[in-house]
Chain A
Amino acid sequence: MDIYHHLSSDFIAILITLKLAIVTCFFLALIGTPLAYFLAFKSKKTKPFIETIVTLPLVLPPTVIGFYLIIIFSPETALGKIFIILTGEQLIFSFYGLVLASIIYSLPFWVQPLQASFEKIGRDTIRTSYSLGAGPLDTFFNVIIPLCKKGFFTSFIISFAHTLGEFGIVLMVGGGIHGKTKVIAISIYDHVEQLSFGKAHILAGGMLILSFIILLTLFYFNKRTVVKVK
C-alpha cells in the first residue's frame, strides 16, 4: 500500500514535470522568439544590455534567481496581488509560479540558438523577401521559420531538457508541494534524503536515459542537416 502510494507520487511528479516543460516551452516560443528576432535584427544600442539580461540566468546561482522571484511573487507585490485577483490563488508555491520561474530560467536556452539561427540567414534574406513583395508576417512564416527549422528545433529541445532538470529555483519558488509543484528533480532529492536509493535509482536513471535520448536526437538531427547542406 505504502509502496503503491510512493510510486503514484513519483508518477504524479513525472506528469507535473512534463507539463511544466511543455507549458514553459509554449510560452518561451511566444516570448523568446520575438526577443531572438529583435536581438538578431532590430536592436542596436540596446542589444548588449538586453543580451546581458537574457544571459544572466545562465551564470547566476539558481538560489539568487529563486530568492528574487520569491520576493517578486509574494502576495504583497503588485504581481502577486494581480495573480490572486485573477485566480484566487497565490503565485508563489503555485504551478504557474513555477512556469514563470522556468521561463526566466530557460530563456537563454531558447533565445540563443534561435538568435544565432536568425543571424545566420541574415538581413539580406529578409530584405530580399520584402523586395519581392512579402510583408513582415508573410516573410516570418514563409521564409524565416522554414529556413530556421533547425534553430527552432534546437531551442525547443534544449529548453525542454533544461526545464526537466531544474532543481534550485523550482524548490525555492514552488516549495516542492506534492501533486502541485513537486517535480522529478525534487522527488529524487527527497528519496535520497530518506535513503530510499531504489526509488531514487528509478527516477534518476529515467532522467538520465530521457536526457540522453533527447540530446542524441538533437545532435543526430543537426548532423544530418549539415550533411544534407553539403
Chain B
Amino acid sequence: MSNLSVFLNGKIGSLILNFEHHFQNDGITILYGPNGSGKSTIISALGGFINNLETRIFFNGNEIHDIDKFPPNKRQFGIMFQNPILFEHLSVEENLDFVTKRNQINTQNKSSISKEYLINQLELNSLLKRSPENLSGGEKLRVVLARTILKNPNYLLLDEPMSDLDIKYKAKLLFFLKDFNKKFKIPILYITHSIEEITQIGDQIVLIKNGKKIDSGSVSNVLNRSSFVDLTGKFESSSILEGIVSRHDQNLHMTTLDLNGQKLIVPGLPGKLNDIVRVRIRSRDILLSSSRVKTQITENELQGLISSIEIEKNSAFTELVIVLKNFKNNRKKQKLRARIMTYTLKNKKLLIHDNVFIYVSSVSIDRQAYQSK
C-alpha cells in the first residue's frame, strides 16, 4: 500500500543513520524523536539535498534517489524547512506566484488547490501586498505554508511548522492541516516535539532515536507503548483513550464521551455524535483512590483495576497501569497509565488487582482537533 519508501544509511557529522520506513500514502504521519536524532535529515534526503548518504527512495513506484536524474527542483514534494524562509525581495503575493509560475503543469493535472482557497483558509488577504520583512512570525508561517501547499505536491513534508506559534493560532492551523489532508488526499509527514500536536493531528507515528527507527504504528497504539515513554521520559508519560461521542453540550462547550460504558467529559470537540475520538491523559494528572470519593472533586470519575505497579528506583514516583472497567464488553480493553507518589501508594495501601477510582479534571485532557473517522 505504501507509496513512499525511504532507506538511509551512512554518517552525517556524529550521527550514524540507519533508517528504513514505508510511509503510508494517506493521513498524517508524525516523525518523533529527540533533537539530533535525524528527523530533519530524513526530510532533507527526501528533498534531494543530501548526497553523502547511501539513500534509496521509492515514490509512486519510481526510484527517485538519484540526485542527477531527480534534482531537488524536479521532486514532487512540498517541503517546509525548520527555518521557513520567504523571499524578501518579493511581496507576499509574488512569493505565492513564484510557485504557481514554476509548477503550472501540476496545477492543471489535479482537482487543484487554488490560490484563492489558501488565501481564504489561511486568512492571507490583508497580507498579499505586504513585504515579508514586516510580517509577524505567525503571519510568515501561514504564507510559507500556503506557498508550500500551492506547489500541489504529492507529499507534504513539514519540519516543526508550529514551533514558533501561539496557542490560539496553532489550534486553527492544525485544524486546517487535518482538513486539507482529507480534502485533497495529500499525505503529510510532520515533524514535531509536541505531544499535544501528535494527539491532535497524527494518524501514524514513527519514532526515531540516534538515526534508527525505534517503533512505528498508529498514534493510539504507539503512544501507549513503552518505546514512546522511553523517548518522552516518565514526566511526559500519558495514555491515549478512545471514546464515542455520546453528547454535546452547546452552551457549556463540552462533550461527553462513552469509554466502554464509562463517561468522560472533555472540553467541546468538533466531532459528530457516535464518532470515535481520541483523547490523551497525562499520567501525572490522574488521582487515585481505593474507595469512592463522596464529594465531587473533578468532573470525571472512572473505575478500573490495577494491573501493574512499578516503583521507580531512586525516585519519589510510582507508575501504575490500570485497566479500565468495561461495562459494555463490546470494545477492546483500554489501559491508563498513572504516575503517583510512592508515598501515596503506601499510604492508600494500593495493591495489584485492586479496584480503584480514577479522578481526572477535564481541563487537563488533550483532544483531537477533528473527528477521526
Task: Jot down 9 A-B pairs with beta carbons below 8 A, ordered by A.
Answer: A127-B72, A127-B79, A128-B85, A131-B73, A132-B147, A133-B102, A133-B151, A134-B73, A147-B89
Is there contact, CB below 8 Å, between B81 and A133?
no
Is there contact, CB below 8 Å, between A124 and B87?
no
Assess whether A48 is interfacial by the CB under 8 Å rule: no
Is there contact, CB below 8 Å, between B81 and A124?
yes
Q: Write out the residue numbers on chain B whose beta carbons fall within 8 Å of the beta carbon of A61.
A: none
**Interface residues of A: mostly helix, strand, loop or mixed?**
helix
Most chain B CB neighbours (cut-off 10 Å) among A134, A138, A149: A134
Is there contact, CB below 8 Å, between B83 and A135?
no
Assess whether B176 is interfacial by the CB under 8 Å rule: no
Is there contact, CB below 8 Å, between A138 and B102?
yes
Within B65-98, which residues are at the interface with A (CB < 8 Å)? Answer: 71-73, 75, 77-79, 81, 83-85, 87-89, 98
Assess whether B103 is interfacial by the CB under 8 Å rule: yes
- Residue of A129, A131, A149 near B77 (CB, 8 A) is A131
| Interface 1/0 per residue, A190-230 and B, CB below 8 Å | 00000000000000000000000000000000000000010
Is there contact, CB below 8 Å, between A127 and B99?
no
**With the chains together, A169 CA to B44 CA distance in Å?**
48
Assess whether B299 is interfacial by the CB under 8 Å rule: no
Q: Considering only CB atoms and an 8 Å cut-off, how many residues of chain A contact the other chain?
A: 20
| Interface 1/0 per residue, A97-111 and B, CB below 8 Å | 000000000000000
List 6 additional contacts besides A131-B73, A133-B103, A143-B87; criterion CB under 8 Å: A124-B83, A131-B47, A131-B75, A132-B99, A133-B73, A134-B73
Is there contact, CB below 8 Å, between B102 and A128?
no
- Residue of B44, B85, B102, B133 near A134 (CB, 8 A) is B102
Assess whether B49 is interfacial by the CB under 8 Å rule: yes
Chain B proximity of A110: nearest CB distance (Å): 22
Assess whether A43 is interfacial by the CB under 8 Å rule: no
Q: Write out the residue numbers on chain B whose beta carbons fall within 8 Å of the beta carbon of A77.
A: none
Chain B proximity of A99: nearest CB distance (Å): 33
Closest to A148 in B: B89
**With the chains together, A198 CA to B147 CA distance in Å?**
65
| A138-B102, A229-B133 known; A131-B79 Cβ under 8 A | yes
| A133-B151, A134-B73 known; A127-B102 Cβ under 8 A | no
Closest to B104 in A: A133
Closest to B106 in A: A133
Is there contact, CB below 8 Å, between A135 and B71?
yes
Within B195-252, which residues are at the interface with A (CB < 8 Å)? Answer: none
Chain A proximity of B194: nearest CB distance (Å): 22
Q: Write out the residue numbers on chain A whose beta carbons fall within 8 Å of the beta carbon of B79.
A: 127, 131
**With the chains together, A142 CA to B94 CA distance in Å?**
12
**With the chains together, A193 CA to B78 CA distance in Å?**
69
Assess whether A189 is interfacial by the CB under 8 Å rule: no
- Residue of B47, B75, B85, B98 near A125 (CB, 8 A) is B85
Chain B proximity of A123: nearest CB distance (Å): 9
- Residue of B47, B87, B151 near A127 (CB, 8 A) is B47
**With the chains together, A128 CA to B47 CA distance in Å?**
10
Assess whether A130 is interfacial by the CB under 8 Å rule: yes
Is there contact, CB below 8 Å, between A132 and B49?
no
Chain B proximity of A153: nearest CB distance (Å): 14
Closest to B88 in A: A147
Most chain A CB neighbours (cut-off 10 Å) among B44, B48, B72, B133: B72
Assess whether A146 is interfacial by the CB under 8 Å rule: yes
